[in-house]
Amino acid sequence: MENNKMMGVKKEDYAANIGSSSLPSCNNYPFFDFSEDKGSLGFMELLGVQDYNHLLDFPLSSHVSVPQTSAVKEPPETKKECSEVTNNQQPTTPNSSSISSASSEVLYDEQNKTVDLAPEHQKTKEQLKAKKTNQKRQREPRFAFMTKSEVDHLEDGYRWRKYGQKAVKNSPFPRSYYRCTSVSCNVKKRVERSFSDPSIVVTTYEGQHTHPSPVMGRSNNFGTVMSGSAGNYMSQYYHQQQVHVNALSSLGFLSSSSSSRNATFSQETALLSDYGLLQDVVPSHMLKED
C-alpha cells in the first residue's frame, strides 16, 4: 500500500468527487451530437449533406452546428480554463441538425499522418516503455458524440471488450473503456454518461477499425463513398446512429419533438462545451496552437 492515489475508488466516492464548478471546458475536437434524432433519418441525412466527399472538407456545411469552441483559441495555459465558452455557443440550429463538430480540420491533420496502427496491446511492456520514453504517447484521432440512450454501451456493429472503468472527476458516473476485440484492430472507445443528463451517453472513439464491421457486412457503403479514413469514421458513426435510432424508437424517445426536448438538447450541447466532460480528448497540439 505505498500509494492509494485514486486507485480503487469506490463507487460511493464518485459523488464525493463532484461538486466542483470550475470544470475544464475544452472540447476542441470533432464532436457529433446524436442526442436528438429526427426519426429514422440516416446520419448523412441528419447532417443534411448529400455530397459526402464535400463533407470531408471541413468545416462542415451550414447544416451542421459548429460550437464556437472551434473558433475559440485557448492559450495553452488556459487548457483547463476555457471557461468562457458558454451557452451562447449552443448549436444555432438544434432543430435542423443534432450534430456538432469542432476543430475538425485538426482531426484531418491527424488523419493525414501515417497513424501507427500497430496494436499496442500486442507489444510487450518493455516495448511500450521504450516507446514511451522515446516519445510522447501518440493519440489516435478521436471522435465523440452524444446519444440519448438508456444503455451505456450502444451497439455499433463491432465487438468490444471492456478493459477498464474509472471514476470520472466531476461526474457521478464512471467512464468505461472498451477495445475492439478484433486482433489487429486498435480501436478503442470510451463511454460515459453526462452527469447533468444521465440519459445522455457520451461515446468517444479512438483509432480506426482495420476490419469491416462484423455485422454490417457489405451494407456499409459509406466507407467507400467517403474517401479516406474520415469515411471510416463517418460510416461507423452513421451505423451507430442508425442502430441507435432504432433503439430510441423502441424506447419511445422519438415519439415527440417538442421544443422542450430541443431545449434539453441545447443545454446538453452547451454542457459539453462548458464543462468539458471530454476535456481529455482534446489533442494536445490543438491546445498548443502550433
**Which residues contribute to the site for DNA (CB under 7 A)?**
1-2, 5-10, 17, 76, 79-80, 120-121, 125, 128-129, 132, 136-137, 153, 159-170, 175-179, 181, 188, 190, 280-281, 284
164 beta partners: 177
Minimum distance of DNA from residue 86's CB (angstroms): 21
- Three cell numbers written together for 239: 451505423
Minimum distance of DNA from residue 129's CB (angstroms): 4
Residues with Cβ < 8 Å from 53, sequence gap 6 or more? 225, 226, 227
Minimum distance of DNA from residue 243's CB (angstroms): 16
Per-residue CA distances from 44 to 131, 231, 239 (Å): 39, 12, 11
Nearer to DNA among residue 64 and residue 201 (C-beta): 201
Nearer to DNA among residue 73 and residue 129 (C-beta): 129
201 beta partners: 147, 193
**If phi over 0 gives left and psi between -120 and 50 gives alpha, with beta otherwise, what is residue 179?**
beta
The dihedral sign for the CA sequence 32, 222, 207, 161: positive
Q: How many residues does the chain have?
A: 290
Minimum distance of DNA from residue 242's CB (angstroms): 21
Nearer to DNA among residue 63 and residue 80 (C-beta): 80
Minimum distance of DNA from residue 190's CB (angstroms): 6
Minimum distance of DNA from residue 124's CB (angstroms): 8
Tell the residue number behind the cell numbers 475538425, with chain if given: 104
CA pair distance 136, 202, nearest whole angstrom: 26
